[in-house]
């Protein structure tokens, strides 16, 4: 897809389809008024006849526009003028793209942002446009042998801005947006693959392939023997029951002086989670292929970082494995020793994500990081607490939590700051080891974060529980690409 910025008026710009809006009570937007004068008042006639009232969700396609520079005009209802802000703008774009997909238009220009939008500048408009178009055109990896979805005909999409002074901002937004959606697409492609395709070895090969594509990206993959020599007993305890070899994947990107402390992203990479000996119920277990969404988001964020050549140092760490039951599998009550030297009583083998993350967090210390952020589909409890709309955000540093929360707000990829504290950590006491890997049912997302916090002394650390936001079930089952937008926005705005 090619994106561009236009400063020409709608009545002068040639395109296959011009997208304009009408507010409630039939009030034409500035772009609709300008274009309407060129096409013989056809938009005003729609309003007068009552065929278009400007309600949110209304959409009418006009064609056969003799004498006009446009082949088609797509007129959208935008709802209340004063309430038309970023959320409504994104929804309007989605409606426009759904309507466009039913036409043969190869290019289009959106004029929806020419009127002032309260919380959206030209930069944000452009990012939202790119993200909306990418979302409409994304196709999951297809293993069907028939009835394949046709490729979209739309190949070029323009954003109209009010003045030449806005053009630079919008072009910057397009550049950032393209990197973000590229990272999201990679995340979604990885997470949507079945677990017999996307194994730990597959992730390792994908990482090495990325390093071949980007000279500034270094990748190392540690095998199980190397992890054992490093003392990663907690990580390796999870993979004991699997015939698939584990892989500990490390990305290194240096966009600044090597003396500058890096941001480290750590992603949970359980490519399939049966629960181990603490076996999950069968219903919905197929969705456990998404349990590597934290890892996939690290892949996506690293791709975006190198695409943008950000002036930062960023390290990505992905402990990748399966959690399977067999005669060698870790049993409830077993005690394992983490890379930090702390011992863990494994009371529930289905609380495995924290067991691989804790060793990855310990490994991150060798980089003397400025910040460590881990990402994981960690707990069903977080889904109960926050549903599928907000990620759970936990941190031992309120300033870092505020920065990540603000990034989520800017990126429409929101997170909610959740508590951690000693009182919650009490639930992790063990009679036989330094800690247990689970507490009770109450506050399960919090006690999971408290477990990870035991490995973060001296680190500026945050944990994002993305169990409710990284993928969706039901008829539209699949990866969402979150939290790549949040992560990239955070990195873009690092001071």
Q: What is the pLDDT of residues 181-207, one digit of tens each?
A: 999 999 999 999 999 999 999 999 999
The string of pLDDT tens digits covering residues 414-444 is 999 999 988 999 999 999 999 999 998 899 9
Mean predicted confidence (pLDDT) in 204-212: 98
Provide the pLDDT for residue 495.
Answer: 66
pLDDT for 447-484, tens place per residue?
999 999 999 999 999 999 999 999 999 888 999 999 99
Is pLDDT at 149 greater than 80 in this prediction? no
Q: Is the distance from CB of 256 to CB of 313 less than 8 angstroms?
A: yes
Mean pLDDT of the 77-104 span:
94
HSE-CB of 387 using CA atoms within 13 angstroms:
2
Choosing from 354, 405, 454, 482, which is the catalytic residue?
A: 354
Domains of the chain, first to last:
2-142+152-161 (3.40.220.10), 180-492 (3.40.630.10)
Rounded CA-CA distance 394/450 in Å is: 9
In whole angstroms, what is the distance from residue 388 CA to residue 101 CA?
27
Q: What is the per-residue pLDDT for 84?
A: 93
- Residue 487 reports pLDDT greater than 70: yes
Task: Judge whether 148 counts as a catalytic residue.
Answer: no
Is the pLDDT score of 67 beyond 90? Answer: no
Question: 279 pairs with which residues across the strands?
Answer: none
**Alpha-carbon gap, residue 252 to 262, rounded angstroms:** 9
Q: Which residue matches tokens 């939590």? A: 401
Considering only residues 438 and 144, tell me which one the structure prediction assigns the higher pLDDT.
438
Tens-digit pLDDT profile for residues 282-339? 999 999 999 999 999 999 999 999 999 999 999 999 999 999 999 999 999 999 999 9
The residues that bridge with 381 in the sheet, in sequence order, are: none
**Mean pLDDT for the chain overall:** 96
- Smallest CA-to-CA distance from 108 within 119, 98, 97, 118 is with 97
Residue range 106-123: mean pLDDT, rounded? 92
Check if 354 is active-site: yes
Active-site choice (280, 337, 365, 494): 280
Position 147 pLDDT exceeds 90:
no
The answer to whether residues 465 and 353 touch, using CB atoms and an 8 Å cutoff, is: no
Q: How much is the pLDDT for 152? A: 86
pLDDT at res. 315: 98
What percentage of the chain carries pLDDT values higher than 90? Answer: 92
What's the rounded mean pLDDT across residues 43-49? 94
The continuous run of DSSP H or E covering 364 comes out as helix 353-364
3-class secondary structure, 76: strand
pTM for this entry:
0.96
Determine the 3-state secondary structure of 345 from DSSP: strand
Looking at the predicted structure, is the pLDDT value of residue 150 above 80?
A: no
């Amino acid at each position: 897809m090619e994106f561009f910025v236009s400063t020409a008026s709608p009545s002068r710009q040639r395109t296959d389809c011009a997208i304009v809006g009408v507010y409630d009570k039939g009030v034409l937007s500035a772009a609709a008024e300008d274009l309407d004068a060129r096409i013989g008042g056809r938009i005003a006639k729609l309003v007068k006849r009552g065929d278009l009232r400007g309600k949110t969700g209304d959409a009418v396609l006009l064609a056969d526009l003799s004498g006009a520079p446009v082949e088609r005009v797509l007129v959208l209802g935008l709802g209340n003028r004063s309430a038309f802000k970023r959320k409504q703008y994104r929804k309007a774009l989605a409606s426009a793209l759904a309507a466009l997909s039913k036409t043969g238009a190869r290019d289009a220009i959106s004029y929806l942002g020419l009127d002032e939008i309260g919380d959206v500048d030209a930069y944000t408009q452009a990012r939202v446009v790119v993200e909306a178009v990418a979302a409409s055109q994304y196709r999951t990896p297809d293993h069907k042998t028939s009835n394949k979805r046709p490729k979209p005909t739309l190949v070029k999409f323009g954003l109209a801005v009010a003045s030449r002074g806005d053009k630079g901002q919008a072009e910057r937004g397009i550049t950032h947006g393209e990197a973000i959606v590229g990272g999201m697409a990679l995340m979604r492609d990885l997470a949507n693959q079945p677990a017999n395709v996307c194994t730990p070895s597959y992730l390792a090969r994908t990482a090495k392939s990325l390093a071949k594509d980007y000279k500034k990206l270094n990748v190392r993959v540690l095998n199980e023997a190397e992890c054992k020599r490093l003392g990663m007993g907690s990580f390796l305890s999870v993979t004991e029951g699997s015939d698939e070899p584990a892989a500990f994947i490390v990305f290194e990107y240096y966009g600044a002086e090597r003396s500058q402390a890096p941001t480290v992203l750590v992603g949970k990479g359980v490519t399939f989670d049966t629960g181990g000996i603490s076996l999950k119920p069968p219903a919905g277990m197929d969705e456990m292929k998404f349990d590597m969404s934290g890892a996939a988001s690290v892949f996506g964020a690293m791709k975006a970082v190198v695409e943008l050549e950000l002036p930062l140092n960023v390290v990505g760490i992905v402990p990748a494995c399966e959690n399977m039951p067999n005669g060698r599998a870790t049993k409830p009550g077993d005690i394992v020793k983490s890379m930090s030297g702390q011992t863990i009583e494994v009371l529930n083998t289905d609380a495995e994500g924290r067991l691989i993350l804790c060793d990855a967090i310990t490994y991150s210390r060798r980089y003397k990081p400025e910040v460590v952020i881990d990402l994981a589909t960690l707990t069903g409890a977080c889904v109960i607490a926050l549903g599928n709309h907000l990620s759970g955000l936990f941190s031992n540093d309120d300033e870092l939590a505020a920065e990540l929360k603000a990034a989520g707000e800017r990126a429409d990829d929101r997170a909610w700051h959740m508590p951690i504290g000693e009182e919650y950590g009490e639930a992790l006491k063990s009679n036989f080891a330094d800690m247990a890997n689970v507490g009770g049912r109450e506050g399960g997302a919090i006690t999971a974060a408290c477990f990870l916090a035991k490995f973060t002394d001296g680190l500026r650390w945050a944990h994002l529980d993305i169990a409710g936001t990284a993928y969706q079930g039901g008829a539209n089952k699949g990866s969402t690409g979150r939290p790549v937008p949040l992560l990239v926005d955070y990195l873009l705005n690092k001071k």
